[in-house]
Amino acid sequence: MNSHRTAEHASDCSEVCAICQELKKTVKNDPTLLLNVITGDESIIYAYDPETKLHSSQWKSPGSPRPKKACMQKSKLKTMLICFFDQGGIVHREFVPPGKTVNADFYCDVLRRLHENVWRKRPQKWRNQNLIIHHDNAPAHRTFKVSQFLAKNNMTVIPHSPYSHDLAPCDLFLFPKLKLRMKGRTFNTIEEIQEESQRVLDTFPQRDFQRCFQAWQKHWDHCIRAKGEYFEGDGGI
């Protein structure tokens, strides 16, 4: 790694630490803050996602031959899920239509539908006009148009560390748990993938969403101790 890359990496780590420290300070000053946060992200769900080694393990007797397994890869058939949740559970979910790109225009439409679902599903948040959104730094999320929409609708955004998937609640909990339940299964159409994804999401109890937000806070501490370097922690659900 050359000196320029080293300096850039050190700067990124410093920024990650600063954001985690800022979040910790904000929550300390307002312990109810995370009750108002709605976090969301996008992820691709495949028609076939190979099982993990643990998931596909089998019992066998000492004298029996080792089972043969075909080398499988993720399928080309896939769909993109967008999901937002808070400590009470899922607030909004939708799938990106085939051929569509998540650009500023599309993401504003997603946020508009999220806003409507807050009114239906979280009336207290709606009445208080205290909508706090967390999402990552994807290009579509950072556009001026999206910022305008958020400001116009009184939706405050809390910061997210750059390049830090280990600090996003969707990646700590929701998407890994969803995909684990669907690994090794084959779906023939996008509609089948979407139907099963929604069925699995509906099985997650509220306590898992609450534990996710607790794990998120633990990951801030892990990140600060690691000085912003990537780590593999035990903060998942």
Q: pLDDT tens, 8-67? A: 666 668 888 889 999 999 999 999 999 999 999 999 999 998 865 544 444 444 455 554
The answer to the question of residue 107 being in a domain is: yes
The answer to the question of residue 4 being in a domain is: no
The answer to the question of residue 64 being in a domain is: no
Rounded to whole angstroms, the Cα distance separating 227 from 237 reads 23
For the chain, the domain total comes to 1
- Which among 99, 109, 116, 114 is positioned nearest to 145, based on CA atoms? 109
Q: pLDDT tens, 170-210? A: 998 999 999 999 999 999 999 999 999 999 999 999 999 99
CATH number at residue 98: 3.30.420.10
The answer to the question of residue 60 being in a domain is: no
pLDDT bucket at 2, cuts 50 / 70 / 90: low
Instruction: Provide the pairing of β-strand 78-86 with 37-46.
Output: antiparallel
Alpha-carbon torsion angle 181, 179, 72, 62, nearest 10:
-40
Half-sphere exposure of 40 (CA within 13 A, CB side): 22
Is it the case that residue 115 has pLDDT exceeding 50?
yes
The answer to the question of residue 221 being in a domain is: yes
The answer to the question of residue 116 being in a domain is: yes
Domain that holds residue 126: 21-49+73-225
Q: pLDDT tens, 117-160? A: 999 999 888 887 778 999 998 999 999 999 999 999 989 999 88
pLDDT bucket at 7, cuts 50 / 70 / 90: low
The answer to the question of residue 106 being in a domain is: yes
CA-atom Rg of the chain in angstroms:
20
Are 46 and 73 within 8 A, CB to CB?
A: no
When pLDDT is averaged across residues 213-231 and rounded to a whole number, the result is: 83
